[in-house]
Structure 1
Amino acid sequence: MDIYQLRYFLAIVETNNFSRAAERAFVSQPTLSAGIKKLETELGTPLFNRDARKISLTEAGRRFLPHARTIIYECNAAKSDIVRKSPVRRLQLGLLRSAPSARVAALLDDFGKAHPDIQISIKDGSTAQLQRWLDEGRIDVALSVTPDAESNTEFVQLYKWKYMVAVPSGHSFSGRNAIPLKELDRLDFLHRTHCEAETELTRMFASAGVNPHIIFRTDQDEKALAFVGAGLGLCMMPDILNAPGVTLLPVEGINIYRTIGLVWRAKDENDLIRSFQMFAVSHDWYPERAGSKNLDWAR
């Protein structure tokens, strides 16, 4: 397996087109196709479903994607590290899949401007995965839920969220203060497959005799919000998430809260973790609820 094959693979994933991928990789389309065929032969399985109208990843391709991205990232990081005059400090960050992407991106941008000598690599996963990666030393700090008391980790709170129902802003529910759980019965719903409170929600819906019609399942919050805004269905999600055209409303009978913060192993605490913690704690996690904070003091 060669690095150029991984770059070809990622170019196709990013462009969803062999011709555009070849342009991005600065090779001819036959050269790119040959490289992908050689990679698939080595792996013993197709990575792409090919038809006349679209290209999509096979199951093997989806499993291979995070490995390819990690390898290319590490190669680029190694090259950057060597050409720099001073060593690069690197923070390995674990990110809960349901974390608000826009707010996390704003935090990383702000931190990066203040610490250009620090590279941050990100692994997103479930609560259990983040805890395992911390235990194994594969990440330095995680943005996750409050850990178990016996986990031998430190925790600092960043924000809290409550589960609400997301509805299109023009929906008949949108002008109400709260929605009785019973009124959600038989309605079209989008299901967030990475939901940390799935067991609790399922139990509460079942206890109330509410049986929503699941029309779509996704592990991407941006896609869920977009589909809600387009009127395709409702969705239970944390109130930290939002998007134009979507209204979040409390559901009577659903009282699920979570506290989100930074988690790290006490024995691993260092200046790098403390610097990131300082920015994360002072970050404005609800910009729509209050004016932005000035972080000049931290620069």
Structure 2
Amino acid sequence: MEIEQLHQFLKVAEFGNFTRAAEVLAISQPALSRSIARLEDELGQPLFERQTRKVTLTDAGQLLLSRAHRIVALVEDTKAEISDDGESGRIRLGAIPTIAPFYLPEMLSPFAESFPKAQLTVQEDTTDNLLRRCQQGEIDLAILALPISAKHLEIESLFEEELLLVLPVDHPLVEKKQIKLTDVEPFPFVLLDEAHCLSDNIVTFCRHRSFNPISVERTSQLATVQELVSLKHGVSMIPAMAKKLDASNRRVYRSLHGTKPTRQIAMIWNPYRFQCKLLDRFKQHIRDFSKTMNANR
């Protein structure tokens, strides 16, 4: 039994599909199938029930799944601990789509300059997927928005960010000096789809103030939300970090008067995995950067 086989087995189990797993692993499907078949021959049991378009784990596969996660994690942690010099190594960072393009480039650049031997990979995904991948050791650290429900993960709050009202440039509310939430109530909203926690932040804020926003459209990209607002499909609320990078003159951002909608940004990691010196330094860099960013607002 080889570690690479266990990596491959875990990917097939994750996707329930040999073709998709082979694409992610960057190998051919026949090569992946032969590798899994050799593993099954060695164990004397089938690990997957093969169906037309998907595969499911057998009882033996379920047993191997829990053990394989632990074996792979132990091997990776051992390698990391032996070579832990605090300067080199790999950090696998995850972030949700409403944070990654706006926060990471400015944060990662100075760290890369200070630690040129470090290998940083970024994986953008939804909150639920990042939590699962962090628990399973597929990523080392994730930056996302609270609240989250996660077992066996360390959560550290970084900063609070305002959500700004975004309007078409000729919207009637643009001329108001102070826009209250009640002023927004008659207008339809454009929101991200339910997989994104930003929509939950917005809806929860409104409902706590006896206002249920009417969503006329949902999309998977924040940039699409901004464009739909520009095209007068509705209004929305956008993180301040996204507004900072928006150079368009086709929409206007306003801060709501009174209690403002916000979201809390946090980083999470698995404290039961080996924490190398480089990862500790990276976490401290994130803390320092977040403090500086808040101070400059």
Task: Report the TM-score range of the alignment, normalised by the length of the smaller protein.
Answer: 0.5 to 0.7
Instruction: Give the Cα separation in 2 of the matches to 1:288 and 1:161.
Output: 9
Name 1:104's counterpart in structure 2.
Answer: 104
Post-superposition shift, 1:264? Answer: 1.1
Name 1:130's counterpart in structure 2.
Answer: 130
**How many residues end up aligned between the 2 structures?**
214
CA RMSD of aligned residues (A): 3.8
TM-score by length of 1: 0.57
Instruction: Give the Cα separation in 2 of the matches to 1:200 and 1:261.
Output: 14
Work out which of the residue numbers 256, 267, 274 in structure 1 matches 2:272: 267
Name 2:296's counterpart in structure 1.
Answer: 290
Structure 2 CA distance for partners of 1:221 and 1:69, relative to 1, 3 Å: farther
Counterpart AA for 2:236:
C
Structural mapping, 1:67-78, within 5 Å: 68=23, 71=26
Name 1:249's counterpart in structure 2.
Answer: 254
Post-superposition shift, 1:278? Answer: 2.4
Name 2:229's counterpart in structure 1.
Answer: 228
Name 2:214's counterpart in structure 1.
Answer: 212
Judge conservation of contact 2:131–2:150 (CA < 8 Å) in 1: no
Structure 2 CA distance for partners of 1:285 and 1:104, relative to 1, 3 Å: farther
Counterpart AA for 1:113:
E
Instruction: Give the Cα separation in 2 of the matches to 1:169 and 1:183.
Output: 17
Percent identical residues: 17
Instruction: Give the Cα separation in 2 of the matches to 1:179 and 1:90.
Output: 47
Counterpart AA for 2:111:
F
Name 2:192's counterpart in structure 1.
Answer: 192
Counterpart AA for 1:168:
P
Counterpart AA for 2:95:
L
How far does the alpha carbon of each residue in 1:111-135 deviate from its partner, in whole angstroms, 9 at most, with x for none?
Answer: 2222222222222222222211111
Structural mapping, 1:16-165, within 5 Å: 68=23, 71=26, 89-99=89-99, 101-146=101-146, 151-165=151-165
Work out which of the residue numbers 273, 276, 282 in structure 1 matches 2:282: 276
Judge conservation of contact 1:166–1:248 (CA < 8 Å) in 2: yes
Secondary structure at the counterpart of residue 94 of structure 1: strand
Judge conservation of contact 2:102–2:242 (CA < 8 Å) in 1: no
Counterpart AA for 2:271:
A
Counterpart AA for 1:212:
I
Unaligned runs of 5+ in 1: 1-41, 44-63, 73-86, 292-299
Judge conservation of contact 2:190–2:236 (CA < 8 Å) in 1: yes
Judge conservation of contact 2:135–2:152 (CA < 8 Å) in 1: no
Flag the structure with more relative contact order, 1 or 2, with Cα contacts below 8 A and sequence separation at least 6: 2
Post-superposition shift, 1:178? Answer: 4.1
Post-superposition shift, 1:143? Answer: 0.6
How far does the alpha carbon of each residue in 1:201-247 deviate from its partner, in whole angstroms, 9 at most, with x for none?
Answer: 44635974655362x42222233234434555321233332023343
Secondary structure at the counterpart of residue 183 of structure 2: helix
